[in-house]
Amino acid sequence: MKFLFVFLLSLLLSTQAMAQLEVIISGGFSGPYNQMLPGFEQKTGIKVVTKSGASQGSGPKTIKAQLNAGVTADVVILSREGLAELMAQNKIAPNSDVDLAQAPLGLAVPTGNPKPDISTTKAFADALVKAKKIVVPGSTSGIYLKTELFPRLGISNQIEVQVTERGSESTAILAAHKANIAVQPSSELVNIPGIDYVGALPSDVQLIQTFSAAIIQNSPNQQAAKKLIEYLSSPSAAVPIKNSGMNLVR
């Protein structure tokens, strides 16, 4: 009997140790997430498999497209706009969504290039026109820039804009000096080798993106998923959030 008890206990402990979560995350919150994940795994014994995808846009790399194609996940982390699309498709467990951090749109240039003045809307627009080649991600921020802001500034016909599927692709192009300016969430521009972060856009042309986490409907790991989201939204997230160019949720 004692042997059976020890065997069952060891089996239970090993099962808990092997608990695993699947996460699909966009680039916006990746900085704090990557800083905090080792601590979460060590504290809980839960192994996390991380996949990536764009918050919004077209093509197979968006989180929505991946889920629709059958890619499995327990937790998604993306912009609130992208999450709203998933919620409309009933892919999210009710009342499981939590806002984690906010990121303003920022501008960056290749390392070594002069940093333009973007302190006013006119200065920002002039910098874009002078730069000529601009790169933006095709997700939430790129949709706003291409369809709303650039037309509002009246510069759509004066600039060349390259749209990428992911923010990491935009910064790679910028670092390779194949574009002169990148505009996207600040959290995707700070601490990136090969590029220099200039600063946030002026307030009257700004888009503050909220990045949120939620549990996928019918996830078999609801409790572990809840623990991860609680950890990412705990007070210990404050420093990683600020170090990644993001702000705490207001």
Say if 150 falls within a structural domain: yes
How many structural domains compose the chain?
2
pLDDT at 2: 52
The model's pLDDT over 121-146, given as tens digits with 9 standing for 90+, comes to 999 999 999 998 999 998 899 999 99
The model's pLDDT over 208-234, given as tens digits with 9 standing for 90+, comes to 999 999 999 999 999 999 999 999 999
Predicted confidence band at 14 (pLDDT cuts at 50, 70, 90)? very low
Say if 249 falls within a structural domain: no
Say if 167 falls within a structural domain: yes
Residue 213 shares a structural domain with residue 193: no
Say if 95 falls within a structural domain: yes
Residue 213 shares a structural domain with residue 95: yes
Residue 101 scores a pLDDT above 70: yes
Residue 16 shares a structural domain with residue 36: yes
Cα end-to-end span (Å), the chain: 56
Q: For residue 129, what is the domain's CATH number?
A: 3.40.190.10
The model's pLDDT over 25-80, given as tens digits with 9 standing for 90+, comes to 999 999 999 999 999 999 999 999 999 999 998 889 899 999 999 999 999 999 99
Alpha carbon distance 183, 232 (integer Å): 26
Residue 153 shares a structural domain with residue 182: yes
What residue numbers bound the domain in which 78 lies? 2-102+209-243
Residue 56 shares a structural domain with residue 82: yes
| Residue predicted with more confidence, 111 or 11 | 111
Q: What is the mean pLDDT of residues 184-192?
A: 94
By C-alpha distance, which of 85, 77, 82, 84 is closest to 101? Answer: 77
